[in-house]
Amino acid sequence: MPADNKATKETVRLFHSLYKLQNKGIMYGHQDDLMYGSKWWYEKDRSDTKDFTGEYPAVAGFELGGIELGNERSLDSVSFVQIAEQVKAHYKRGGVITLSWHVNNPLTIQLPKPTSSRQYGTAWDVSSKEVVASILPGGKNNELFNAWLEHLANFFNTLKDDHGTPIPFIFRPFHEHSGSFFWWGTNICTDQQYASLWRYTVEYLRDKKNLHNILYAYNTDRITSLDQYLKGYPGDDIVDMLSFDMYDRGVQFGEELDNALKFITHEAAMKKKLTALSETGERRGMTDWWSTVLLPVVSKYPVGYVLTWRHAYRPKVSKTANQNQPFPDDFKNFYNSPRSLFLKEVQEAKIYKRK
């Protein structure tokens, strides 16, 4: 069951469908797949995954950084109105939606801008270790953070289908806590503060804003043990998915991934939670990464989905041979594997319908 005992029926069905599907195969997900590719920008019904395979990804990822400021566009210049349109379109098709949030830094964003810092005021601004403490109740930025959550909740409230029914989605806030490159990272706040931040955010959205269409994904960056994975874990009562991010940075990746999947999928089975490798990416220079590295390892475990990150829009960069197509040829081998699930298989599973 979803952690939220008031979860809408579509959300409950999504949870159960995903729980079942993770034993059947691994869904493919792609960040901003429906918004742009490296040479195109927001064209109706276009998708890099569909361009290359003929099919949409099973999971569509979208990014919300900037919504908290009331901006019209995300930090990646994507219009939030258009994100809402594509969330609706993908739901209508019967696909899965996941939302990430590179939320700005509520403390440092108030300081005068230093000329030298590229990270100033962003999620990546780790110049202060007081940020999380400052936004929790009693902290000087609590009101400000509430206003930011209000913007987030207002956006969530626009995610409804044609009948006005809230669209269920997976929300993965404060991601990659095991790293220290975001203001909520492991050396930037305490694990206790991190857990409180999570709890505060969920309670705000769920109890104050009455949003009951959200499945919450706990997330870390690379980790080598279950203990390390669970540092800062906010609790089974508010988490629906155990996820982690791991990019291939070298030959040891296969083993690291295997190890992490072993303890995370085992823990998820004990807790009856969903699982995902919520961000990954191929090793530079490899041409057969999808079929020889990723697929064999993820096939050993009940992993709900694997998502690769955005194809950043770079219209001016000249086209080299491998930029003429959005994926390497080997991606077809991943696509053709009976283990991988793209939109059609997920549509057949009717994940939002009563069984």
Between CA 286 and CA 328 the distance in angstroms is: 10
Q: Hey, is 223 helix, strand or coil?
A: coil
Q: Angle at the Cα of 276 (from 17 to 102), degrees rounded to 5?
A: 115
Closest residue to ligand BMA, based on beta-carbon distance: 63
Burial of residue 251, with CB atoms counted within 10 A of its CB: 0-12 exposed, 13-18 middle, 19 or more buried: exposed
Please give the helix or strand (H or E) that residue 253 lies within, else none. Answer: helix 253-271
Q: Is residue 150 part of the contact set for ligand BMA (CB under 6 A)?
A: no
Q: Is residue 102 part of the contact set for ligand BMA (CB under 6 A)?
A: yes
Sole residue written with tokens 């298989």: 345
Q: Is residue 222 part of the contact set for ligand BMA (CB under 6 A)?
A: no
Q: Is residue 258 part of the contact set for ligand BMA (CB under 6 A)?
A: no
**With respect to ligand BMA, which residue has the nearer C-beta, 42 or 309?**
309
Residue from 69, 75, 153, 269 touching ligand BMA (CB under 6 A): that is 75
**With respect to ligand BMA, which residue has the nearer C-beta, 123 or 264?**
123
Q: Is residue 84 part of the contact set for ligand BMA (CB under 6 A)?
A: no
Q: Is residue 68 part of the contact set for ligand BMA (CB under 6 A)?
A: no
Interface positions, 303-342, toward ligand BMA (CB under 6 A): 309-310
Binding mask 37-66 for ligand BMA (x = CB under 6 A): --------------------------x-x-
Residue 184 CB, shortest distance to ligand BMA, in Å, is 15
What are residue 99's DSSP bridge partners? 62, 171
Contacts 24+ apart (CB under 8 A), 329-332: 329/287, 330/287, 330/288, 330/289, 330/290, 330/291, 331/52, 331/53, 331/290, 332/52, 332/53
Residue 245 CB, shortest distance to ligand BMA, in Å, is 10
Which backbone phi and psi does 131 adopt, to 5 degrees?
-65, -50
Residue 65 CB, shortest distance to ligand BMA, in Å, is 6
Residue from 76, 150, 256, 258 touching ligand BMA (CB under 6 A): that is 76
Cβ(56)–Cβ(95) under 8 Å?
A: yes
Residue 126 CB, shortest distance to ligand BMA, in Å, is 15
Residues in contact with ligand BMA, counted by CB under 6 A, come to a total of 7
Residue 77 CB, shortest distance to ligand BMA, in Å, is 9
Q: Is residue 231 part of the contact set for ligand BMA (CB under 6 A)?
A: no
Please give the helix or strand (H or E) that residue 344 lies within, else none. Answer: helix 343-348
Cβ(12)–Cβ(1) under 8 Å?
A: yes
Residue 181 CB, shortest distance to ligand BMA, in Å, is 10
User: Which residues of this protein are in contact with ligand BMA, per CB under 6 A?
Assistant: 63, 65, 75-76, 102, 309-310
